[in-house]
Structure 1
């Protein structure tokens, strides 16, 4: 027993040292491979290295040294505890909820104890006896636990593989943003399909038994999930023809904003108010979409400005160009310009035209900036911004003390 305690203490010491030395480096390498915060913090990575080292050392010692039964039990308990903590830390690092992670880690710990002490076969026999038979199929507690373990392991492997593949595709500089998103979605579908087929094979499920229900399932998919599959195919088509891609500034109906994500069902558009609109993919296929950054991110903005008839139009036009040129987001090339649009009822109508290259930052703020500059420059240089005025002159008649406007209408509009 003393030897067992010393062996356990030595394994813990070696595991602690190796984890402290290699944990942070391993965490940095995994983060570079799989993406940020996928395997948890460096502390959790260090803990996984420590528990794995302790379990491996105890397993090797238990198989190499012949000890008395009580010492073997102590080694088995220490090994199962290390394995349970390793599984718990790994599942929590992969963001599995605490209840499921605890249940799986406890089950693996018990199986580890039974296997180490040579009691795995009686345990499996006992679990298999708890169940019932339906036709030619046997449903037991052992089969349920086996299916649960297979599903959890395949889920974790598929999630890790999907994360690694998506991260590697995202770093491929040879592909543009739309092609990377499309490749990531196709890779994710391939990983899920491979995991499902592998799980069916590992669980021994006979797919021929499901042929009777395939027709009904296909009919249900055709009617009940028609929109879902339509949006899925529409999303793939949008990524293939690259008509819209993450980062584009689009206008769909009354929604104006930048695309943050093209999902399986909908496109996420974030407006300047911080509201996230989820637009179904089919809507972008069937309705007109105004893409402000499809072939170029440069967008021309129009601002109408009215000037009084008594003002110096040449000076007013120079001041409007100056106001637009001094704005921070306005491009110097092409230069801002001013067009005279027409002679209105109260003003000479002009329009300031300028270009910006960051439509995702909105156009209302740059309009406000330029109009504020126009207001200041016009005030400093005596340029009047008119407003509608209406003067009504009423002539009185000798025979009527209080004539109506209908009898003698006369209006002078300024």
Structure 2
């Protein structure tokens, strides 16, 4: 019939259909590639579990070309938890195995433990990335920002980590050493190193104050280590006696007081030095050696001084104290004042 449009042939309809299919948006990609394989494996084993998985997978949100479901979140949480648990358990096992090696001293054991721990956690990180099916090339966009974050925000952290490893390698600072510590007020005290951590060194003083000193500070600042090459420490006890005292007897009593302390070493023996002729006394210094500075120094000095006090009392040695002689010159005003005071006293 005239005016009727002939039906479109299959040859003309196919290109239109193909063009329509190309215009359709692609389905969103799954955020976690590993969840697809796990879902197929679980669904093939049990229909009930498969229906639960499908329900969880149906609860999802789409972010652009990315689809995130509740099932994906559970899979990621399970893998992360499993990887962290594996790394923690492997670190504990490796630490126990290292401590059983008798050929390594405490410092070497601590160094090996830290290196193995870092290697285990790094391996666990890449294993988690592989299990999750995350393509590392997808993170290329954020690599620059992540590098800047490490360079600026975590610079001190990585610096302290490397400094701690170097301290353990050269054995300049090791657990058990006694070092001098200065607080914020400038007061110096000594403490014993309890632990060398990833970020800081823990130092405990005699009054149970614990200082956390960054590893980097011990690398770049001067450190007074009392037990670096030997734990023997020489301590000084200053003593002053009267000018009228028998100096030979004084020296003998000082040596006796030092030798009476249990913590003072017999070899090298205590010695006594005369320092100076002071304003009110002859000043001596008792030098004695101890081999356990972590147990305190002030208590040894106190024990020596207490013993010396009673020895001086028994032998009549005077411990002087500041004294002053006043000489008043005579004058007319002073004579008048004294006369008035004498007159008032007589009345």
TM-score, length basis structure 2 = 0.80
Unaligned runs of 5+ in 2: 1-42, 183-187, 338-347
Cα distance, 1:143 vs. partner? 1.1
2 CA distance for matches of 1:121 and 1:216?
Answer: 41
Cα distance, 1:400 vs. partner? 3.4
Cα distance, 1:220 vs. partner? 1.7
Structure with the bigger RCO (C-alpha within 8 Å, sep 6+) is 2
Asked whether the 8 Å contact 1:396–1:403 carries over to 2, the reply is: no
2:334 corresponds in structure 1 to 401
SS of the residue 1:392 aligns to? coil
2:312 corresponds in structure 1 to 378
Cα distance, 1:115 vs. partner? 10
Asked whether the 8 Å contact 2:181–2:191 carries over to 1, the reply is: no
2:257 corresponds in structure 1 to 323
Q: Say if 1:126 and 1:338 are closer, same or farther in 2 by CA, change over 3 A.
A: same
1:221 corresponds in structure 2 to 150
Partner deviation per Cα, 1:191-243 (whole Å, 9 max, x = no partner): 11111110000001111011111111111211122222221121111111111
Unaligned runs of 5+ in 1: 1-113, 405-414
1 CA distance for matches of 2:189 and 2:47?
Answer: 66
1:119 corresponds in structure 2 to 48
2 CA distance for matches of 1:402 and 1:123?
Answer: 117
2 CA distance for matches of 1:367 and 1:384?
Answer: 20
1:212 corresponds in structure 2 to 141
1 CA distance for matches of 2:189 and 2:80?
Answer: 42
Equivalent residue in structure 1 for 2:70, among 141, 146, 169: 141
SS of the residue 2:273 aligns to? strand
2:185 corresponds in structure 1 to none
Cα distance, 1:402 vs. partner? 6.0
Query: Superposition pairs for residues 316-355 of structure 1, below 5 Å?
Result: 316-355=250-289
1:171 corresponds in structure 2 to 100
1:184 corresponds in structure 2 to 113
Equivalent residue in structure 2 for 1:388, among 319, 322, 326: 322
Asked whether the 8 Å contact 1:252–1:288 carries over to 2, the reply is: no
TM-score, length basis structure 1 = 0.67
Alignment RMSD: 2.0
Q: How many residues align?
A: 291
Cα distance, 1:135 vs. partner? 4.3
1 CA distance for matches of 2:52 and 2:314?
Answer: 93
